[in-house]
Chains A and B, each alone.
Chain A
Amino acid sequence: AQKVTQAQTEISVVEKEDVTLDCVYETRDTTYYLFWYKQPPSGELVFLIRRNSFDEQNEISGRYSWNFQKSTSSFNFTITASQVVDSAVYFCALSINTGTASKLTFGTGTRLQVTL
């Protein structure tokens, strides 16, 4: 069985602070992908990143960066110099191949509140 744990239910920061959202996953599969999605108040989940299980290189995209560590089964997400527009619920998700399709197992999400 697959599982994704996001232990941080809610985080509040002041604008310009850096913030890290934690994600720990469980799977017996050796091939899998990890994702981060952002869910703003409008409700639509917005794709942020996809990372495969064989690529442990960290990735940076503007103010966003991701740290994938297979040894600790973690895929953490850092926002540098946070902004009010970053306020949203962030979901980490795991995808394994179940034959013809890959479906996502989501964590419970971390609500990020960025204030002025």
Chain B
Amino acid sequence: DTGVSQNPRHKITKRGQNVTFRCDPISEHNRLYWYRQTLGQGPEFLTYFQNEAQLEKSRLLSDRFSAERPKGSFSTLEIQRTEQGDSAMYLCASSPDRERYEKLFFGSGTQLSVL
């Protein structure tokens, strides 16, 4: 396994700009998750995909956030009209979908700073 890959590692943007992050899960992992982690806190669930279908979204995911997984492989997370409160580490995770309560494999995250 090559691991979960996230790009970019760091992103600095000005308030009001749009940003897009990419996540490449472990090959053949059907489940893909996005989490957000702010300083001094644990990761918080944002959304979940089973193959290309987005099956669950957290209330944390406002209308400015959109996630896609068009071919059931990589995923993108877009934030429109960024706000300073969006500054956080965005973590992607994947799992093989062989059982319930699976352990998740995390990427190293994308650190977003909104100025």
Closest to B31 in A: A101
Given A45-B43, A108-B40, A102:B109 Cβ within 8 A: no
- Tell me, yes or no, whether A72 is within 8 Å of chain B by CB: no
Shortest C-beta distance, A6 to chain B (Å), equals 8
Shortest C-beta distance, B3 to chain A (Å), equals 8
Interface residues on A, range: 20 to 34
- Tell me, yes or no, whether A35 is within 8 Å of chain B by CB: yes
Contact A101 B42 (CB under 8 A): no
- Tell me, yes or no, whether B33 is within 8 Å of chain A by CB: yes
Shortest C-beta distance, B25 to chain A (Å), equals 14
Contact A108 B41 (CB under 8 A): yes
| B111 partner residues in chain A, CB cutoff 8 A | 43
| B3 partner residues in chain A, CB cutoff 8 A | 44
- Tell me, yes or no, whether B44 is within 8 Å of chain A by CB: yes
Instruction: Select which of A44, A47, A50 is within 8 A of B108 by beta carbon.
Output: A44
Contact B56 A44 (CB under 8 A): no
Shortest C-beta distance, B30 to chain A (Å), equals 10
| B98 partner residues in chain A, CB cutoff 8 A | none
Using a Cβ cutoff of 8 Å, how many contacts connect chains A and B?
Answer: 66
As a 0/1 sequence over residues 22 to 47 of chain B, the CB contacts with chain A under 8 angstroms (1 = contact) are 00000000010101000011111100
With A44-B108, A44-B109, A91-B42 already in contact, 9 other A-B pairs whose C-beta atoms are closer than 8 Å: A35-B103, A43-B109, A44-B3, A52-B101, A93-B42, A95-B101, A103-B33, A103-B48, A104-B45
Task: Report A's interface with B, CB cutoff 8 A.
Answer: 4, 32-33, 35, 37, 42-47, 50, 52, 91, 93, 95, 97-109
Interface CB pairs A-B, < 8 A, 26: A32-B101, A42-B108, A43-B111, A44-B106, A45-B91, A45-B93, A46-B106, A47-B103, A47-B104, A50-B103, A52-B101, A91-B42, A97-B100, A97-B101, A99-B56, A100-B50, A101-B31, A101-B48, A102-B101, A104-B35, A104-B45, A104-B104, A106-B44, A108-B40, A108-B42, A109-B40
